Structure 1
Amino acid sequence: MPYELQELAAISGMPGLYRLVRAARHGVLVESLDEKATRTLAPARNKVSLLSEISIYTQDPEQTVPLTDIFERIYQQHGTTAPVTAKSSEGELTEFMAGIVPDYDRDRVYLSDIKKVANWFGIVSKHRPYQEAAAPEAPAADETAPAEVAPAPKAKRKSAKADAEPAANEPLSTGGVIGAPDDAPEAPGNPEATVPAKKSRKKAE
């Protein structure tokens, strides 16, 4: 999630955005998302809309685009500053939204909605750090580890001595490291060739 929106909300009758602090007896204690970070009580009669639960309609009646994804797309295309404001023309606003969500529903998404998206993005990007999602790289490395360690049982079958060396190196090994002990048993394999030689001498006697 590029911008953490879980605790951020828009409150009817109150300009700007707010961070939810805790529930109060007659409403919700909130903190303004600005330089002052002023705490105030939002009355229970005011509608609180969590940004994480807001979506944009698309031409597919069964599909919407979460505001979190909208903010990610704006950031990727325009950085931390949206190219439009509440004072932008209708053409600029619709062109901006079409660039972010090409298939947005032109009938159900109003100009006032686009203005809110641009305004909210400006507030959030100014007071919340952007977090890049780099988590998928770690699982990719973990998935390759089992495949590389898999050849280890073959070394165990060859000899008991070979088991001791790979076992100590398994956590740090790759296919090449495990392969090194596999080559070692082949050298001691030459003395095994002398065993049949002794048997052949007995037969000769």
Structure 2
Amino acid sequence: MLKTILSISGKPGLYKLVSQGKNMLIVESISADKKRIPAYGNEKIVSLGDIAVYTEEAEVPLKEIFVALQKKEEGVAASIDLKKATANELRDYFAQILPSFDRDRVYLTDIKKIISWYNILILNGITDFAAQEEALEVSPE
């Protein structure tokens, strides 16, 4: 599922891939408005399935972080207030989810993005991070 969820640089929120045009992608906002817009090749478009976070040992896929966040928060949106939290509070919160994250290469903006993406997905009913990814991997080609 995370392979079809996209982050587009310069546009707020997350988008679901709907179809592909000649020189663009057609994406739909995950938020309540479900607005469809074109996303062009000159925009930085990243699939959430392709994102990983640096740790001291290796890189951890974003889906594993979302699963850990979901366990910590018991399936609801994150309890930390991203606007009011200090840098140390954000790092401590993220360390509860991923204790070995690389504090030199994972910036505060990265932590805020990951938590805000998690909140967007949870608030819009996308909650089955692990099972949906496994289903994609098992399906025959």
Residue 64 of structure 2 contacts residue 130 of structure 2 at CA under 8 Å; is this kept in 1? no
Number of the residue aligned with 1:102: 99
Deviations 1:145-171 (A, max 9, x none): xxxxxxxxxxxxxxxxxxxxxxxxxxx
Partner Cα separation in structure 2 for residue 57 and residue 85 of structure 1: 23
Aligned to 1:16: 13
Asked which structure has the greater CA Rg, the reply is: 1
Aligned residues: 129
- Deviation per CA, 1:23-46, whole angstroms, max 9, x where unpaired? 112311100011010000012100
Q: Secondary structure at the match of 1:16?
A: coil
In structure 2, C-alpha distance between the alignment counterparts of 1:56 and 1:86, rounded to whole Å: 19
Equivalent pair of 2:2/2:129 in contact (CA under 8 Å) = no
Question: Cα–Cα, structure 1 residues 133 and 89, in superposed 2: closer, same or farther, change >3 Å?
Answer: closer
> Would you say 1:77 and 2:69 are equivalent positions?
no
Identical-residue share of aligned pairs (%):
36
8 Å CA contact 2:25–2:38 kept in 1: the answer is yes
Amino acid at match of 1:90: A
Task: State the one-letter code of the partner of 2:77.
Answer: T
Matched residue, 2:137: none
Amino acid in the other structure paired with 1:115: K
- CA–CA distance in 2 between the matches of 1:66 and 1:28? 24
Structure 2 CA distance for aligned equivalents of residues 118 and 94 of structure 1: 12
Counterpart contact for 2:18–2:26, Cα < 8 Å: yes
Q: CA RMSD in A?
A: 1.6
Q: As a proportion of its length, which structure holds more strand?
A: 2
Q: Distance in 2 between matches of 1:89 and 1:96?
A: 11
- 1:32 match: 29
Partner of 2:110: 113
Query: TM-score w.r.t. structure 1 length?
Result: 0.60
Counterparts of residues 33-182 of structure 1 (less than 5 Å): 33-60=30-57, 63-79=58-74, 80-87=76-83, 88-131=85-128
What 5-or-longer segments of structure 2 have no aligned partner?
132-141
**One-letter identity of the residue aligned with 2:82:** A
List, as ranges, runs of 4+ consecutive aligned residues in structure 1 with deviation greater than 4 Å: none
Give the structure-2-normalised TM-score. Answer: 0.85
Question: What is the match of residue 3 of structure 2?
Answer: 6
Task: Note the residue ranges of structure 1 that are not aligned, 5 or more in a row.
Answer: 135-205
Using the TM superposition, give the Cα deviation of residue 71 of structure 1 relative to its aligned residue in structure 2, in angstroms.
0.5
Residue deviations 1:61-80, cap 9 Å, x none?
Answer: xx111110101001101132
Task: Kindly state the Cα deviation for residue 128 of structure 1 after the two structures are TM-superposed.
Answer: 2.9
Residues 133, 94 of structure 1: alpha-carbon distance in 2 compared, 3 angstrom cutoff: closer
1:103 match: secondary structure:
coil
How much has 1:133 moved relative to structure 2? 6.8
